[in-house]
Amino acid sequence: MNTNNEKQLLSDTEVVQRIFDHIDNATTDKGNQSWKEPVDNYRSKARLEAELKILQSRTIVFCPSSALAKPGDYVARDVAGIPLIAVRGLDGEVRAFRNACRHRGVQLANGHGCARALVCPYHGWAYGLDGSLKSIPHENGFPDLDKATRGLVAVACLQSNGLVFINQNSEENIEHDVSSLPKLIPDGYRLLNLNSQIVKANWKLHLESSLEGYHIRQTHKNTFFPVQYDNLTVVEAFGENSRVAFPYQSIEGLRHKNQTDISVDGRLTYVYHLFPNVVISTFPGCMQVVVLEPIDESTTRQHSYLVSDIDENQTALLDSVFEGQKFAAKGAIEDLQIVQSAQRGLLSGANEFLEFGLFETAIVRLHVHLAREMARLDKTCGK
């Protein structure tokens, strides 16, 4: 994760003013570069393997901190094909490990849950929440085993900005990698819901659908378009990452507000793309963290976490959040249908490349930095 911000993000007030300028002038943010991405880069097994190596070598988001709210909470899933588990210890620290028993390599857990210890389902070897090997059934059968050296294998892990970051290199300096990221999830947010689903499309095709407003009118005729604007976004870059602001038509209610009175909650959605494979979106009363894990060239597993700072006793507000999410889900289904159609279109032979124009700046940014990472990987491998 590159930490050299090209610029600081705009304030909400500055974003709102830029949106009003676009509304008044029938314009939108435009980039200075288009991009042609070869179709083979969505279909090639070798290309996917290289992308997985990039994910394995970088500091990336594993989950929101609120998914590990209390001691014993864990999330276990694959990251770039490697099974990992993150868990909050009795001391409150979050740690991450390779999800494999040191006896015969069986995964200790799947999905999410809460446990006082991580116990292998095969032979019952038990590990503390700090990864140390605590007990072995019939330990006298392993007279030469030193438990002090057979704890779970750690990977670098850091809790910051409301997120848990990992790097599969246990010696990596994650603090340096994330030091200049903005505060993405404020303190006090708790987990409302988490789920995962399989998407029958390449992970980049799926990601691209989140990063531009050029398709709003055509794809979301009866959902987002009546609420938002067609092809009107504010796009910013920070390091390798992007933030795209999608205004709602209700933003007009801020026209005559004092700057100190401006709140964009319910007036726009910010979509943060954390390179390469994470999207964090703001919605009225909540935020959503989406992690896209490539499974193969045409299959992606989407992990979604919904978080909010609304107290569990504020039932009316929570009901409003869940109603809003039902509406957002309708638009997400429309995007999914389009993405899967694009996946099938890759097989048609019609295109040698996919074209991204000046309205699709954040997507261009994704591919520019992927190309740079590919070059870095080639150099590292001596190609």
Helix (H, G, I), strand (E, B) or coil at 354: strand
Of the candidates 265, 94, 306, 274, the residue with the CA atom closest to the CA atom of residue 182: 274
Rg (C-alpha) for the chain, rounded Å, is 22
What is the domain partition of the chain in residue ranges? Answer: 12-58+183-380, 60-171
Q: Which residues contact 268 (CB under 8 A, 6 or more apart)?
A: 15, 16, 19, 245, 246, 247, 248, 251, 282
> At the top level of CATH, which class does the domain 12-58+183-380 belong to?
alpha beta
Q: Give the pLDDT of residue 5.
A: 43
Q: Give the pLDDT of residue 383.
A: 59
Side-chain-facing half-sphere of 264: CA atoms under 13 Å = 18
Q: Give the pLDDT of residue 1.
A: 56
Mean pLDDT by 10 residues, the chain (383 residues): 61 96 97 97 97 95 98 97 98 97 97 97 98 97 96 96 94 89 93 96 98 97 94 96 97 87 92 97 97 98 97 95 94 96 96 98 98 88 66
Helix (H, G, I), strand (E, B) or coil at 193: strand
- 215, 338 contact by CB (below 8 A): yes
Q: Give the pLDDT of residue 99.
A: 98
- 28, 232 contact by CB (below 8 A): yes
As given in the structure block, the two tokens for residue 363 are: 């997507």
- The sheet carrying 126-127 orders its strands as 118-119, 126-127, 133-135
Q: Which residues contact 281 (CB under 8 A, 6 or more apart)?
A: 210, 269, 270, 271, 272, 287, 288, 290
The 10s digit of each residue's pLDDT in 58-91 is 999 999 999 999 999 999 999 999 999 999 999 9
Global confidence as pTM: 0.95
The 10s digit of each residue's pLDDT in 132-162 is 999 999 999 999 999 999 999 999 999 999 9
Q: Give the pLDDT of residue 3.
A: 45
Helix (H, G, I), strand (E, B) or coil at 373: helix
Of the candidates 235, 314, 320, the residue with the CA atom closest to the CA atom of residue 270: 235
The answer for 138, left when phi > 0, alpha when psi is -120 to 50, beta otherwise, is left
DSSP state of 153: P
Using the structure block, give the residue that is written with the tokens 């870095």: 376
Within 10 angstroms of residue 250's Cβ, the number of other Cβ atoms is: 12
CATH number (3.40.980.10, 2.102.10.10, 1.10.10.60, 3.40.50.1100) of 60-171 reads 2.102.10.10
